[in-house]
Amino acid sequence: MGEFTTTIEHRLDQAYRGLQEARSDGDDFLADTLAAEIEDLRRIAVDNGVSLQR
């Protein structure tokens, strides 16, 4: 696995954990921000041929 793939997966893991926490805390703004980040990271992965497990 390349460094790019590892970085994307790590950032996605962080974003998913943060999203879960933001939703639990009722922080809608942060949840929306993290959801957008997840969408962007997933798009970047697909655009670069990275297969994601989630």
Whether 15 maps to a domain, the answer reads yes
Q: State pLDDT tens for residues 6-52.
A: 999 999 999 999 999 999 999 999 999 999 999 999 999 999 999 98
Q: Is 54 inside a domain boundary?
A: no
CB 24 within 8 A of CB 12: no
- For residue 35, give both structure tokens: 């959801």
Which residue range is the domain that position 36 belongs to?
A: 3-47
Lookup: tokens for 20: 């879960």
pTM of the predicted model as reported, rounded to 2 decimal places: 0.89
CA distance 34 to 51: 20
On whether residue 37 sits in a domain, the answer given is yes
Number of domains, the chain: 1
